Amino acid sequence: MPYSMTGFGRGEGETPAGRIRVEVHAVNHRYSDINLRLPRSLSLLEERIRGLVAEYVTRGRVEMQIVLDPTAEHAVAVQVNTSLARQYADSLRSLAQELGLPPAVDLPLLVQLPDVLAVAEPSFDPDMVGPSVEQVVRQALQQMQEMRAREGDKLAADLRQRAAQVRTWVDQVEAQAPRVVEHYRDRLQQRVRELLGESGSLVDPQRLAAEVAIFADRSNITEEVVRLKSHLDQFSQALSQPAAEGKGAVGRKLDFLLQEMNREINTVGAKANDLAISQHVVWIKAELEKMREQVQNLE
């Protein structure tokens, strides 16, 4: 079964670094685009986390945020560079004296100068915190995957129903096709009688048969109908393909098949020269466009 590209998941748990919260959501995107926001202290785990996401998502934009509430021993600390602040203060007083300005060195000014204050974040051994962090990340990804699977089931059901309707119309087009030549022959004979009157009966029947044969060859849509049915069969098979077999990534294949179906039905419309078939072509094209919009939501 295909997955929707839209989903959301959350995870929370304890790690040696502290308690972490993971939120992940996925939206439609033509390619795979993974964006991670995680604490600097866990940045060494970024590639491992990307690898985990790639196990679940092959196409779509994924946004993941990891928030860490560190333990007391690993809390973020503010460091003051007193020596540097003193040098700044002395330099500013010296500059003020040289320029004949009143010295106005105060604390708010000093703390804004580069490197006077620094935030020291703890660093963790990836092998120590990695397994527990990955467990929470998997929890969020699994929840997101379940949501994507439910949505994918609904989209697949809708697409199957639309594909069945398209097949019904294609069958009707196929049934109508033999009558097109018959109607053309009748119209041609009627036109000859209207133009020539009684002398129309003197027209060479073989000449009329040749004209009808040329029209039949030019308007033959057998190949297009066969390919349309084949594409519909492949479309249904792709929708029923087990997710594990294709990793759920069937969206591109379905989109390609819809392009091919649209190309075939355009050819049918151009060749058929029949009002009933033309009407069916319009219906089929409209339904294929709706299916194409739905397929854009599938991975």
Q: Which of 53, 36, 45, 37 is nearest to 15 (CA)?
A: 45
Q: Which one is the CATH code of 7-74+124-147: 3.30.230, 3.40.720, 1.10.10, 3.30.70?
A: 3.30.230
Q: How far apart are CA 45 and CA 129, in angstroms?
A: 9
- Side-chain-side CA neighbours of 156 within 13 Å: the count stands at 25
pLDDT at 176: 87
Give the start-to-end residue ranges of the domains of the chain: 7-74+124-147, 77-120, 151-295
Q: How far apart are CA 233 and CA 235, in angstroms?
A: 5
Q: Which of 175, 173, 186 is nearest to 215 (CA)?
A: 186
For residue 186, pLDDT over 80 is answered with no
For residue 244, pLDDT over 90 is answered with no
**Which of 89-98, 152-161, 191-200, 265-274 has the largest mean confidence?**
152-161
pLDDT tens digits, one per residue of 206-241: 666 665 566 555 667 888 899 999 999 999 999 987
Residue 10 three-state SS? strand
pLDDT tens digits, one per residue of 31-73: 889 999 998 888 889 999 999 999 999 889 999 999 998 765 6
What b/e sequence results for 6-37 when a residue is b if at least 16 CB atoms lie within 10 Å of its CB, and e otherwise?
A: bbebebeeebebbebebbbbbeeeeeeebebe
pTM: 0.71
H helix or E strand, kind and range, residue 173:
helix 126-196
